[in-house]
Structure formats: structure tokens, C-alpha cells
Amino acid sequence: MMAPRRPGGAGAFPRSVEPPGTPRPDPAQLYAALDLGTNSCRMLIAQPKGSQFHVVDSFSKSVQLGHGLEASGRLNRSSMARTVQALQICRRKIEQHEVKRMRLVATEACRRAKNVGEFLRLVAHETAMPLEIIQPEEEARLAVVSCAPLVSTKTEQLLVVDIGGGSTELVWIDLSAVPRSERPRAIMRLHAGFHPPESPFPAAKVVDWISVPLGVATLKDQFSDVEDDAARFALMSWYFEENLSDFSPYNASQPREGFQIIGTSGTVTTVAASHLGLKRYDRTKVDGLRMTSDQIDRVIREYLSMGPAGRRNDPRIGRDRHSLIMSGAAILQALMRIWPTDRLTVADRGLREGLLYAQMSADGVLEDGPF
């Protein structure tokens, strides 16, 4: 059996967390990026290193901020309290490293909640952290930028998919007018906007993008009353597909040659870890892995055959993910049904990495690297 292939940029961005005992980095060189989503609170603290960055510290916790949001339209008190506790840990890490440059952003749950003002006041009072709510286009753009090192120089049509807790962003990019060697770099330049001003550089053309207000948590909540596991899965997958009708590539015939999908999310990395049989997650084996539609389908069918109890006890899925994996798999299956591919690239990277890159690029502290 041949070993799974990984492209050259896999694992190149970001670098791994500093091992214990390394000299303390200069606080003036540090940047922080925090992503508060519908399900998780995640943060990276990093310093620029050449054309990439080096992660100094990180944090990730499932806070389920959007729990019950689908039914009530509001963030509940226990979810807000859990989230504030996580943000307090992040604040302590930021203070410990004396970070001055940061972007701390919230996404779909905060965009939708009727009582978001109450939540932001609580965050300000308890943490004094400058949390900002970003719009779907910026969320999609930053996810795209983070995936640039994984773009193949052979790719002419690129679909980047970010499956979140409360929403899913899809961005279709035409790279056919960009010289092959420039294609990853052209993706990086999108940090300035999907339709940047005239530039002397060959430009990636964003054909269309969409933010579907369905992610792993919100899609699961919509079908929580369906008891049969397989029926619930099928309904979720078809319902997600119905919500793609406004995305122009959905109705266009797409060539298989020169087409690449990059998937970034806990769902995609979990499916990849299951495919590889990893009982202990290993980012270096997952980030940049290429999977075919058939391989993804086999993993999803295995999940269905396990049932809820089997998935709960499967070490490849993990305790934080087992209740959400089937709604994420339903989204992934819908995408594979519409755009079958032998080149879905798995990305263990996303909004935080995009936030770091955009800050460092704006400050001019990154060298012009391979992308």
C-alpha cells in the first residue's frame, strides 16, 4: 500500500510550539490571534520567522457558546460563563508573554445572537479583552489565506471549504491566469480582500463565495428530533446541499483536471485521522494529507455503521468531537457529492493562522518566501 501523499507546503505554516527550555521570545515580536467560534475558543501566540511564523503558545477548549442558540436565538448564561472562563485563561497567557499586537475575533454565534451586546459587556467587564465580531467575508478570506501553502502549483480551480460550528464558508478561486509557480503566493495576497485593487502581480480571481449559516453545531440542532441515526445523517446532508443553490459554481459543470478542494475544520481533520487509523492525533501526518472522495466515503460509512455508542468510544474521533462528527460528515458528504475529487487536501489550519499572517504581513515583518 502506498503512503498517502502530502504536498510540499504541508506542515510549513505554522511551525510547531516551542519546546520547554527555549529562550523567552522578545515580546515586541509576538502576535496573538484568538478565534471564538460557535463551539470552540482557540488562540495562538506566535512570532514571525522568515516567511512563516513560529508558535510560542496555544490554547484550545470546547466552550459550546452556541449551545441552544438555534432554538432560542440567544446565548445562554452557562455557555457565556464557560466562554468567559476560557477567555480569562487566554488573557493570562497574553499577559504572561506581554503580547501587544493581537486580534481577538468572534464569528457566527455572536453574529446571530440577539443578546450579543450583553455577552460583549460581560467579556469586557471580566477580561478587558478587545473582542470583535467579524463578518463572514473576512472569516472566509482569512481561512483561504491560511491554506495557501497547501495549494498545488498544478491547481487551476480551487475550492476552499471551512466547516465551522455555526457556519460553513466556501470560496471558489480561479488560478488559471496565474503562472504555476505564483499560485500559492497569489492566494496569500487575498488577505487584502477578495477583490483587491490593481496590482502588477498575477491575481487569483474569486469566482464566488458563500457563507452558509449551517455548521456542525447548528446543523445538528436543526435535526435533533430525528431519532434514527442514518435518517438524520441523510436529512442533514441533503438539507445542507439545498442551501448551496445561490453559490454560482453549484450549477456549473466543473472540470476534474486541475481542480483541488482544501478542507479546513475539525471534521476534515478527524475524518483524515480515522482514515489513517490514528488513535492519538498527529498534526504532522494530517495537515496536507490528500484524500479521495472514495476514501472519505468509506470513513463516513464506517461512522454510520458504528452508531452513536461506537463513535463515542472511538479514540480516533475523540470525546470533544463525537457528538458533532456526523453533522460535519453530512456537510462533507454533500460537498463530495456535488464536486467529486481525487484531491481533497486536509488542512489543520484556519482562521487563527490567517489572522496571524494578515497582521504580520500588514506590519511587513514576513520575508517574501516560497508563497
Q: What residues contact residue 124 under an 8 Å CB cut-off, 6+ apart? A: 131
Q: With a cut of 80, say whether residue 65 has pLDDT above it.
A: yes
Q: How confident is the model at residue 149 (pLDDT cuts 50, 70, 90)?
A: confident
Q: Which residue has the cell 481542480?
A: 259
Output the furthest CA–CA distance in the chain (Å, rounded).
Answer: 57
Supply φ then ψ for residue 235, to 5 degrees: -65, -40
241, three cell numbers = 446541499
Q: What pLDDT does residue 191 have? A: 84
Q: How confident is the model at residue 1 (pLDDT cuts 50, 70, 90)?
A: very low
pLDDT of residue 364: 87
Please say if the pLDDT value at position 262 is more than 70. yes
Q: Which residue has the higher pLDDT, 337 or 254?
A: 337
pLDDT band of 97, cuts 50, 70, 90: very high
Residue 84 has pLDDT above 90, yes or no: yes
Q: Return the percentage of the chain with pLDDT > 90, whole number.
A: 73
The residue type at 308: P
What residue ranges do the domains of the chain occupy? Answer: 27-135+351-363, 138-347
With 60 as the cut, is the pLDDT of residue 367 above it?
A: yes
Arithmetic mean of pLDDT, 181-197: 84
Say what the pLDDT of residue 319 is. 79
Average pLDDT for 80-92:
98
Identify which of 302, 346, 334 has the alpha carbon closest to the alpha carbon of residue 4: 346
CATH of 138-347, one of 3.40.50.300, 1.10.1370.40, 3.40.50.2300, 3.30.420.150: 3.30.420.150
Q: pLDDT class for 192, splitting at 50, 70, 90?
A: confident
Q: Which whole number is the average pLDDT over 120-137?
A: 96
User: Residue 166's pLDDT is what?
Assistant: 92
Question: Is the CATH code 3.40.50.300 the one for domain 27-135+351-363?
Answer: no
Per DSSP bridges, beta strands 31-36 and 40-49 are antiparallel
Quick one: pLDDT at residue 188? 84
pLDDT (mean) for 309-337: 92
| Domain 27-135+351-363 matches domain 138-347 at the CATH topology level | yes
Tell me what the mean pLDDT of segment 343-365 comes to.
Answer: 91
Distances (CA, A) of 45 to 97, 284, 351, 353: 9, 19, 13, 10
Q: How many alpha carbons lie under 13 Å from residue 55 in its C-beta half-sphere?
A: 16
pLDDT(2) > 70: no
pLDDT surpassing 70 at residue 8:
no
Quote the pLDDT of residue 213. Answer: 93
pTM (two decimals): 0.86
Mean pLDDT of the chain: 90
CA 309 to chain centre: 27
Q: How far is residue 192 CA from its own chain's centroid?
A: 19
pLDDT at 15 over 70: no
Q: Are 158 and 140 in contact (CB under 8 A)?
A: no
Q: What is the DSSP string of 104-169?
A: EEE-HHHHH-TTHHHHHHHHHHHH---EEEPPHHHHHHHHHHHTGGG--TT-SEEEEEEE-SS-EE
